[in-house]
Amino acid sequence: MKRWTVIIATLLSITVVLVPMIQAADEVAFRSVYHTQKVETMEASDVPGHIIGVAQQSGLTFYTKGPASGQIATMSNTFHFDTMKGKGTFTNYVVNTFQDGSTLSAKTIGTVTPLNGGPRAAIEGVYEIIGGTGKFEGTKGKGTYKGERLGSPQTGGDSYVDAVGTQWK
């Protein structure tokens, strides 16, 4: 009988500790829609079509799930890319600013793959929340995203991504 009491007490203790930790993470979902404002590129000169560059974009992020659900934030980002004939990798730093002045910042790493030989391209990758201010101070999280660039970034291509993940306070 004592053994069962110890086992039940242990299970209850574990439950009391783990349940709040599990509930602390919120599922988040959002869509970002943005326009390329400025692009600077350079041919790497090692092989034809190898382009490296940096770009700045701005737009809106529509939060549909999680602590910011129903809110729209202005978004600005700067990303560095390395492509071979339009296909390659990028690292992006994003800042979303909410109406109350709070910010949420993320680092993304992803790939871009041309579609049908034109200026359209598939975009996908992972993101990590790296900071925040105001109501998002101390926020951490991570997730994945997929989307599309609808035009050439050299001519101000528009893009969107849909993201899902988890966010902790």
pLDDT tens-place values along the chain, 169 residues long:
566 565 565 555 555 444 444 445 789 999 999 999 999 999 998 999 999 999 999 999 999 999 999 999 999 999 999 999 889 999 999 999 999 999 999 999 999 999 987 789 999 999 999 999 999 999 999 999 999 999 887 777 899 999 999 988 7
**pTM to 2 decimals?**
0.82
For residue 98, being part of any structural domain is answered with: yes
- Look at residue 150 and tell me if it is in a domain: yes
CATH of the domain at 96: 2.40.160
Q: Tell me, yes or no, whether 3 lies in a domain.
A: no
Residues 6+ apart with CB under 8 A from 41: 51, 52, 53, 154
Instruction: Tell me the C-alpha distance between 155 and 169, whole Å.
Output: 39
Query: Looking at the 3D structure of the chain, how many domains does it have?
Result: 1
Per-residue pLDDT at 13 = 56
Q: Is residue 9 part of a domain?
A: no
CA distances from 102 to 30, 65, 69, 97, 134 (A): 17, 18, 14, 6, 4
Range of the domain at 119: 24-168
DSSP string, 67-113: TTTT-EEEEEEEEEEEEETTEEEEEEEEEEE-TTS-EEEEEEEEEEE
Taking CA 75 as the corner, what is the angle to CA 55 and CA 97, rounded to the nearest 5 degrees? 140
Residue 15 counted as domain residue: no
Q: Which is nearest to 105 in space by CA: 77, 82, 85? A: 77
